[in-house]
């Protein structure tokens, strides 16, 4: 009778659940009425309805990776959940394209949260990725970059860059500067898988796969704008607006414009416009459409690297006056996500890419005069202007099914990608003055390359997971890829690019097996074996060749890792030990004219230990320490009569470390201050192991304050003004250095509006 009286006052109340930092909807969060013993979950837009007595019943709100809250039932609840500061059950999506507990994934994976990105205020992606164990993203200026994860610093196709699980570029047309095409203003979280991930994502996912997870529409109206700049010529403006309209449609628009004028190095100006538009439409309680678009317009002058004299004397001039890079990229994808029930989900994603990179590249400029021969005219040089473009039409389909038998699950999927690629390169004659400055050029009718390569990649994959014992998870995965390059050369047999028309086919099965074992009390271990492969890239295979000779690259990876929380859960340690052996690894080999040629190396090995430690010694204090100790060697590599077998690979520091301490005093809400240390160890600059770069240590200081809707910050990067190079290389006739940023102070202010 009492229950009937109480229940008579109950009513259906509605609400939304969102992330506290971003305002994004949290779908499938649990809402439980403690008194009525009834529950429900949020829909794809974070909305829920539940019967409760207002002001009497208590609602328990929970979702994996977030702190559980309990509150009194009220009308029109707008609930914000906070992510756990230290949790071993954080959610990752990049391991199998679905949400999964980190502790059930037998891989080395790290996640950079929206809060971490906001606190650090990176102006380039390397400033945040390099805080991750085992990652050395190499800044080359003007947002240009290359990468080093479980491999030396190089410019080859060893990393897969993803946006919401879809590759940014098509396989076979890799570009080490691919992250120029990311809109940082629309990035919510970044997940980094270290080691081969080919069993799920296919080729190029060798050293690692990096997934940029976009921000979703907010549950209520939000908008913001920020401006920032530093004392070495950099300026940037960010903006966004987001809202959910009714119970069906959420929309978000975000972007930024950045430019640099009169930078530290001459001829290094750049500008970039990045825009994103996304929409989420709830067809029903369990079905959603997600449409997302990204547009990038980027232009940069190319100053080239410095020789040893200019580098050490801090003479930051450039002998280039016209070299440049123009990137135009557009991506659009439409995903249909259907949740059949709480055990089954199907996803279909169609996508389109349109990408063009037009260059007058500094790295193609070669003097006619060769002092080591000697021959040629010292006042002449040569180079090229080129346009490497592609379009992509693709589809990815995946289904996940959970079973009651041994808590098992099966993921099956397939994809098809068709990407016509065109490449045109014109020979240019360059005039050089007596001071060594490349003053002007004449574009000739002589073509170095003019071809079309139609790339088709068809793939199928499956992953099975089961839980035979409490705490033990076993995973097996297998993927098959079939690549076809249909090559059509518009030049003749005597041209610089003289490959005959025809097809090149590459296919590969890539397996992975692994297990995780939860040892209880926030401790666990994992082990895995995985393979990876990379077919030759189109330009490597065809450009400048008469016969395509490069072979696919294969990798075997063995890995053991674990995690433990201790000190009353105020500390967390994750460690991974790996050994990755490469076969036919494609590396850059120096030629007599100073150019480089991509060639297969016989065998290489990459082995090391990666570690990340988080400490929370006080509620106001957070400490993070990450690093890797690694060995990269040629096992079997002979070239031009030289035997490099047993040598260390160049550009491969044995120790990389990053540590940060952050203070957020509770008595001054909204204030933060942090200090970060980045260490790069000594490494060899050449394959002969005769010249070394000494390494460097960088100190970054950051301070910020949030007051109501306003935020101000100041970042002092390279606070000690260390002279350093992000990549240093040597040849028999000289050394080259890519200049690291000198001390610079970046100051910004932001305003954010959020509906109450």
Q: Over 80: is that where the pLDDT of 641 sits? A: no
Rg, the chain, Cα only:
27
Number of domains in the chain: 2
Q: Over 90: is that where the pLDDT of 101 sits? A: no
Q: How far apart are the first and last CA of the chain?
A: 40
Round to whole Å and give the CA distance between 176 and 538. 14
Which of 458, 463, 513 lies closest to 480, judged by CA? 458
Round to whole Å and give the CA distance between 108 and 563. 11
Q: Which residue has the tokens 């028999």?
A: 732
Relative to beta strand 159-163, strand 208-214 is parallel
pLDDT, one tens digit per residue, over 299-322 is 999 998 899 999 999 999 999 999
Q: Please, which pLDDT band fits residue 637 given cuts at 50, 70 and 90?
A: confident
Round to whole Å and give the CA distance between 332 and 278. 9
Partners of 429 in the β-ladder: 382, 442
Residue 115 makes CB contacts below 8 A (sequence gap 6+) with 21, 83
Lowest mean pLDDT among 413-417, 562-566, 730-734, 751-755: 730-734
Find the DSSP H helices in 242-289.
none
Q: Identify the domain boundary among 81, 113, 128.
A: 81
In a domain? residue 242? yes
Percent of the chain with pLDDT over 90: 75
pLDDT computed for residue 285 by the predictor: 84
Number of neighbouring beta carbons within 10 Å of residue 637 = 23
CATH number at residue 45: 2.60.40.1120
Round to whole Å and give the CA distance between 454 and 220. 45
Token reading at 259:
């430019």
pLDDT, one tens digit per residue, over 212-264 is 999 999 989 999 999 999 999 999 999 999 999 988 999 999 999 999 999 99
Token reading at 398:
């995946």
The pTM assigned to this predicted structure is 0.94
pLDDT computed for residue 276 by the predictor: 98
In a domain? residue 450? yes
pLDDT computed for residue 487 by the predictor: 96
pLDDT computed for residue 626 by the predictor: 97
Task: Give 247: exposed, middle or buried? Use CB within 10 Å, 0-12, 13-18, 19+.
Answer: exposed
Mean pLDDT for the chain overall: 92
pLDDT, one tens digit per residue, over 193-218 is 999 988 888 888 899 999 999 999 99
Which of 602, 598, 613, 606 lies closest to 578, judged by CA? 606
Round to whole Å and give the CA distance between 16 and 564. 34
639 compared with 404, residue with greater pLDDT = 404
CATH number at residue 417: 2.40.170.20
pLDDT computed for residue 86 by the predictor: 60
Token reading at 363:
């790295």
Query: What is the mean pLDDT of the segment spanning 70-96?
Result: 79
In a domain? residue 47? yes
SS3 category, 127: helix
pLDDT, one tens digit per residue, over 681-703 is 999 999 999 999 999 999 999 99
Instruction: Give the helix, strand, coil percentages of the chain, each rounded to 5.
Output: 5, 60, 35
SS3 category, 162: strand
Which of 535, 545, 550, 497 lies closest to 417, judged by CA? 535
Q: Over 90: is that where the pLDDT of 89 sits? A: no
pLDDT, one tens digit per residue, over 17-52 is 998 888 888 888 899 999 999 999 888 888 899 999
In a domain? residue 570? yes
Q: Over 50: is that where the pLDDT of 6 sits? A: no
In a domain? residue 603? yes
**Contact call for residues 250 and 267 (beta carbons, < 8 A):** no
Token reading at 286:
């369990």
Residue 698's domain comprises 213-754
Q: Identify the domain boundary among 81, 108, 132.
A: 81
Q: Over 90: is that where the pLDDT of 597 sits? A: no
Give backbone dihedrals phi and psi of 686, rounded to 5 degrees, phi first: -140, 165
pLDDT computed for residue 573 by the predictor: 95
In a domain? residue 686? yes
pLDDT computed for residue 384 by the predictor: 96
pLDDT, one tens digit per residue, over 265-303 is 999 999 999 999 999 999 998 899 999 999 999 999 999
pLDDT computed for residue 642 by the predictor: 84
Q: Please, which pLDDT band fits residue 328 given cuts at 50, 70 and 90?
A: very high
SS3 category, 1: coil
In a domain? residue 119? no
Q: Identify the domain boundary among 81, 114, 149.
A: 81
Find the DSSP H helices in 279-367.
308-313
Query: What is the mean pLDDT of the segment spanning 639-652?
Result: 89
In a domain? residue 30? yes
């Amino acid at each position: 009778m009492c229950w009937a009286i109480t229940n008579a006052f109950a009513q259906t109340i509605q609400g939304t659940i969102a992330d506290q930092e971003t305002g994004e909807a949290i779908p499938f969060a649990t809402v439980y009425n403690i008194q009525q013993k009834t529950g429900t979950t949020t829909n794809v837009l974070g909305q829920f309805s539940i019967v409760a007595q207002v002001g009497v019943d208590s609602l328990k709100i929970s979702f994996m990776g977030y702190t559980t809250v309990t509150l009194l039932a009220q009308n029109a609840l707008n609930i914000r959940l906070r992510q756990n500061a230290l949790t071993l059950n954080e959610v990752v999506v990049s391991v199998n394209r679905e949400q999964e507990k980190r502790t059930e994934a037998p891989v080395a994976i790290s996640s950079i949260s929206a809060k971490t990105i906001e606190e650090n205020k990176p102006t380039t992606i390397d400033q945040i990725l390099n805080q991750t164990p085992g990652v050395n993203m190499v800044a080359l200026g003007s947002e240009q970059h290359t990468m080093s994860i479980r491999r030396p610093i190089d410019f080859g196709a060893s990393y897969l860059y993803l946006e919401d699980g879809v590759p940014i570029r098509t396989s076979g047309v890799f570009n080490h500067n691919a992250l120029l095409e990311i809109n940082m203003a629309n990035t919510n979280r970044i997940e980094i898988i270290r080691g081969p991930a080919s069993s799920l994502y296919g080729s190029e996912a060798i050293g690692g796969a990096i997934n940029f997870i976009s921000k979703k529409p907010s549950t209520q109206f939000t908008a913001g704008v920020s401006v920032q700049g530093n004392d070495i010529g950099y300026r940037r403006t960010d903006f966004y607006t987001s809202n959910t309209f009714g119970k069906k449609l959420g929309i978000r628009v975000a972007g930024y414009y950045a430019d640099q004028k009169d930078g530290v190095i001459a001829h290094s100006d750049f500008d970039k416009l990045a825009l994103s538009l996304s929409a989420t439409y709830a067809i029903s309680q369990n079905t959603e459409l997600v449409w997302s678009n990204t547009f990038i317009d980027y232009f940069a002058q190319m100053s080239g690297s410095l020789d040893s004299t200019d580098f050490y004397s801090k003479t930051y001039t450039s002998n280039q006056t016209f070299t440049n890079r123009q990137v135009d990229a557009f991506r659009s994808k439409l995903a249909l996500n259907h949740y059949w029930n709480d055990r089954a989900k199907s996803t279909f994603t169609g996508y389109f890419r349109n990408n063009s990179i037009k260059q007058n590249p500094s790295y193609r400029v070669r003097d006619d005069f060769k002092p080591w021969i000697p021959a040629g005219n010292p006042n002449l040089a040569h180079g090229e202007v080129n346009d490497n473009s592609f379009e992509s039409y693709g589809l990815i389909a995946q289904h996940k099914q959970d079973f009651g038998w041994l808590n098992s699950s099966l993921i099956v999927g397939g994809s098809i990608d068709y990407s016509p690629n065109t490449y045109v390169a014109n020979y240019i004659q360059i005039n050089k003055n007596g001071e060594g400055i490349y003053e002007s050029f004449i574009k000739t009718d002589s073509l170095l390359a003019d071809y079309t390569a139609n790339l088709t990649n068809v793939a199928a994959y499956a992953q099975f997971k089961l839980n035979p014992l409490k705490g033990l998870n076993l995973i097996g995965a297998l993927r098959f890829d079939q690549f076809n390059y249909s090559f059509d050369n518009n030049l003749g047999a005597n041209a610089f690019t003289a490959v005959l028309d025809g097809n090149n086919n590459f296919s590969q099965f890539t397996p992975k097996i692994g297990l995780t074992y939860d040892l209880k009390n926030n401790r666990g271990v994992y082990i895995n074996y995985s393979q990876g492969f990379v077919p030759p890239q189109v330009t490597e295979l065809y450009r400048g060749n008469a016969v395509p000779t490069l072979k696919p690259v294969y990798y075997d990876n063995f890995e053991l890792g674990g995690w433990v929380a201790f000190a009353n859960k105020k500390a967390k340690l994750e460690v991974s030990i790996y050994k990755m052996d490469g076969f036919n690894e494609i590396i850059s080999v120096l030629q007599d004219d100073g150019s480089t040629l991509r060639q297969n190396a016989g065998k290489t090995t990459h082995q090391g230990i990666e570690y990340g430690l988080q400490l929370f010694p006080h509620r106001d204090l957070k400490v993070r320490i990450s690093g890797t100790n690694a060995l990269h060697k040629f096992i079997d590599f002979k070239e031009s009569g030289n035997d490099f077998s047993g040598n260390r690979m160049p550009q491969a520091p044995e120790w990389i470390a990053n540590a940060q301490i952050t203070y957020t005093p509770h008595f001054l809400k909204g204030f933060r201050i942090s200090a970060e240390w980045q260490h790069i160890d000594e490494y060899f600059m050449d394959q002969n192991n005769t010249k070394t770069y000494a390494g460097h240590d960088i100190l970054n200081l950051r301070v910020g304050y949030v007051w109501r809707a306003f935020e101000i910050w100041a970042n002092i990067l390279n606070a000690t003004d260390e002279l350093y190079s992000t990549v240093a290389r040597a040849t028999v006739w000289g050394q080259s250095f890519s200049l690291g940023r000198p001390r610079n102070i970046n100051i910004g202010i932001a305003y954010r509006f959020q509906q109450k």
